[in-house]
Amino acid sequence: MGRKLLYLFFLFSITVQSQIEQGSLFSEAIGKNIKKYVKNSQNAYADQDFERAEFLFDSLINNVVNGSYLDNFKVRKLSGKKIELYKFERPVFLMTYASWCTPGVGEIPALNEIAEKHYQDIDFVVLFWDSKENVRKSTRDYSSKINVVYVDERENTNDHIVEIMKHSLGFPTSFFIDENKRIVDVRRGVLHPYNEKYEISFELNYNSFLNGISLLKNLGSEEKEHFASKQNP
């Protein structure tokens, strides 16, 4: 059994690597464009041209990020154990966060409900850029179906992947990643007043999360149908 599992993991790693070699990694794709994006985005916000700022973000995601492959780097579980992101073998919902971000009142309950319904098909991962102590305090309300991990940047001072992942798009940001580690969409957190009523906050976040999860599940269904058509022409 041990040899079989080792073989399956090796086969999975080779498959993912061959897929990535055909496309660009997230850090490479965004690294070539991030300086121009940041400059133009900062100018747009300075001019209070929020519509242009949103357009610039959408353009970056649609034309640069989507279709690139998530970099594999090590994160820590709350136990302190290090794991690689590629250990998550199913499609991944990855949300980046920090302890000083204040979630909307309905955000975590909405994510918990989505995770409870879809955890068997999707790996839910919330990645905090923070210390272990701060992460523990900030994640008590998350469902057990959500994998909470963190990166303490003080441990990664020479890791350019961590630097790009953390500082390029801000947070909270949600990445929707297929089982081959290809990024299919990236979305910012739902923006609404923090004194928004619970029902409204919950609905806005729930619909946003569900939309991305549906995208991943539909991709899986299309791939299965394509495989079946090839097997049974």
List Cβ neighbours of 94 (8 Å cut-off, separation of 6 or more): 70, 85, 125, 126, 127, 174, 175, 176, 177
Residue 13 inside a domain? The answer is: no
Instruction: Please tell me whether residues 138 and 41 are part of one structural domain.
Output: no
- Residue 157: CB atoms within 10 Å: 8
pLDDT in the model for residue 160: 72
SS3 content of the chain, % helix, strand, coil (to 5): 50, 15, 30
pLDDT higher than 60, residue 5: no
pLDDT higher than 90, residue 219: no
Q: For 176-198, b where at least 16 C-beta lie within 10 A, e where not — what string? A: bbbbbbbbbbbbbbbebeeeeee
Residue 6 inside a domain? The answer is: no
Instruction: Please tell me whether residues 58 and 88 are part of one structural domain.
Output: no
pLDDT higher than 50, residue 15: no
pLDDT higher than 90, residue 68: yes
Instruction: Please tell me whether residues 102 and 32 are part of one structural domain.
Output: no
For the chain, what is the domain count?
Answer: 2
Confidence class for position 32, pLDDT limits 50, 70, 90: confident
Q: Rounded to an integer, what is the distance from CA 32 to the centroid of its chain? A: 20
Q: Are 170 and 189 in contact (CB under 8 A)?
A: no
Tens digits of per-residue pLDDT, 134-172? 898 888 899 999 999 998 877 765 567 777 777 788 778
Instruction: Please tell me whether residues 165 and 63 are part of one structural domain.
Output: no
Tens digits of per-residue pLDDT, 33-67? 888 888 998 999 999 998 998 999 999 999 999 99
pLDDT in the model for residue 165: 76
Instruction: Please tell me whether residues 60 and 81 are part of one structural domain.
Output: no
How far apart, in whole angstroms, are the C-alpha atoms of residue 63 and residue 125? 25
pTM (global) more than 0.75: yes
Point out the least confidently predicted range of 2-6, 123-127, 149-153: 2-6
pLDDT higher than 50, residue 81: yes
pLDDT higher than 50, residue 228: no
- Residue 139: CB atoms within 10 Å: 19
Q: What mean pLDDT comes out for the span 207-224?
A: 77
Q: Provide the residue range defining the domain that includes 218.
A: 69-231
Q: What mean pLDDT comes out for the span 187-195?
A: 73
Instruction: Please tell me whether residues 56 and 76 are part of one structural domain.
Output: no
Identify any residues that bridge with 97 across adjacent strands, giving them in sequence order: 128
Instruction: Please tell me whether residues 156 and 64 are part of one structural domain.
Output: no
Q: What mean pLDDT comes out for the span 210-226?
A: 70
pLDDT in the model for residue 232: 42
What single letter denotes the amino acid at residue 66? Answer: N
Q: What's the chain's average pLDDT?
A: 81
How far apart, in whole angstroms, are the C-alpha atoms of residue 12 and residue 75? 20
Instruction: Please tell me whether residues 74 and 173 are part of one structural domain.
Output: yes
CATH of the domain at 82: 3.40.30.10
